[in-house]
Amino acid sequence: MDIVVFLAVLIAAAAHAGWNALIKGTGDPLVTTVQMSTAAMLVGIVLLALAGLPNNEAWPWVIASSIIHIVYFASLVEAYGHGDLSQVYPIARGSAPLLTGLLGAVFLGENLTTFGWAGMFLLVGGVLLLSFGSGRALRIAPRGLAFALLTALTISAYTMTDGIGARASGNPMAYTASLFIGCGLGMLAYILWRRGWAALAGMAQNWRNGALGGTMQLVSYGIAIWAMTLAPIAVVGALRETSVVFGTLIAIVVLKEPLNLVRIAAVVIVACGLLLLRLA
């Protein structure tokens, strides 16, 4: 993987951790999530006007990914309603890369090298270890754990879908813009179904957090979509999961969760996995 792509995906991972922390840090994760999706949709409309439309071959993938993302956001909101950021986030993000790697090998012929698979296993192991390294018992209800695992499945599904769609689009920016417009419309429909029209009044409050999170959301995933047109989908997906390290730093610095030897060891394991993936 080119060093520019490698570093860009790490920046995207940091932005991903940032918008997840904003969701968990608010009183109503669903409202905040829809605020972000709406903000990202508005930015997407501007980008689509600048970039033009993706190729016709990409539209089935845009539609499929928009639907998968709605399930992803809904399950993520439910998971955060039953567990801590530092535990839900690693479980949701850490379970997906291996499944993505297997799907990529089977359906796209993207077979990783020995270094690649070793790096991926180390990265996933370190990510999952972080979820149990908070210095206290696992505080996530069975319902929250189920939704965290469902979130992991949707991550793998949309990663594969968008990797294929972005390559078919001929224009990663146009594909990204179209996707976020679809997601924004879908999430608005979802909150109206769940909460009714009164939910729109709640969205008018704390709109700055929504605008900030939505921008980070679009930039983060836009970089990933671009990277998947230049590197194996599974490797890009695995590198994105370093967002868990950034999420742990946020939990320690902002939420004042403890730093201990388990967390330090987990970060070292993730770093070793990153090194192997870079060598691969």
Give the DSSP H or E segment for 129. Answer: helix 114-131
Confidence at residue 141, expressed as pLDDT on a 0 to 100 scale: 67
**Mean pLDDT over residues 225-235, rounded?**
87
For residues 1 and 250, give the distance between their C-alpha atoms in angstroms, rounded to a whole number. Answer: 28
Confidence at residue 139, expressed as pLDDT on a 0 to 100 scale: 58
- Sole residue written with tokens 């909101």: 77
Greatest mean pLDDT among 25-39, 41-55, 148-162, 194-208: 41-55
Backbone angles phi, psi at 83, to 5 degrees: -160, 165
For residues 127 and 92, give the distance between their C-alpha atoms in angstroms, rounded to a whole number. Answer: 10
pLDDT (tens digit per residue) in 16-40: 888 877 876 667 888 888 999 999 9
The C-alpha angle with vertex 3 and arms to 220 and 225, in degrees rounded to 5, equals 30
Letter string b/e over residues 93-120, b meaning 16 or more CB atoms within 10 A of that residue's CB: bbbbbbbbbebbeeeeebebeeebbbbb
Q: Of all residues in the chain, what percent carry a pLDDT higher than 90?
A: 30
Lowest mean pLDDT among 81-90, 156-165, 210-219: 81-90
Confidence at residue 172, expressed as pLDDT on a 0 to 100 scale: 94
Asked if residue 119 has pLDDT above 90, the reply is no
Asked if residue 49 has pLDDT above 60, the reply is yes
Letter string b/e over residues 54-89, b meaning 16 or more CB atoms within 10 A of that residue's CB: beeebbebbebbbbbbbbbbbbbbbbbbbbbbbbbb
Confidence at residue 134, expressed as pLDDT on a 0 to 100 scale: 53
Q: Are 122 and 272 in contact (CB under 8 A)?
A: yes
Asked if residue 182 has pLDDT above 90, the reply is yes
Q: Are 209 and 20 in contact (CB under 8 A)?
A: no
Asked if residue 133 has pLDDT above 70, the reply is no
Asked if residue 179 has pLDDT above 90, the reply is yes
Asked if residue 143 has pLDDT above 70, the reply is yes
Neighbours of 249 (CB within 10 A): 16
**Mean pLDDT over residues 56-74, rounded?**
93
Question: Mean pLDDT, the chain, as a whole number?
Answer: 82
**Annotated domain spans of the chain:** 3-279
Confidence at residue 65, expressed as pLDDT on a 0 to 100 scale: 95
Lowest mean pLDDT among 157-161, 178-182, 187-191, 261-265: 261-265
Q: Of all residues in the chain, what percent carry a pLDDT higher than 70?
A: 83
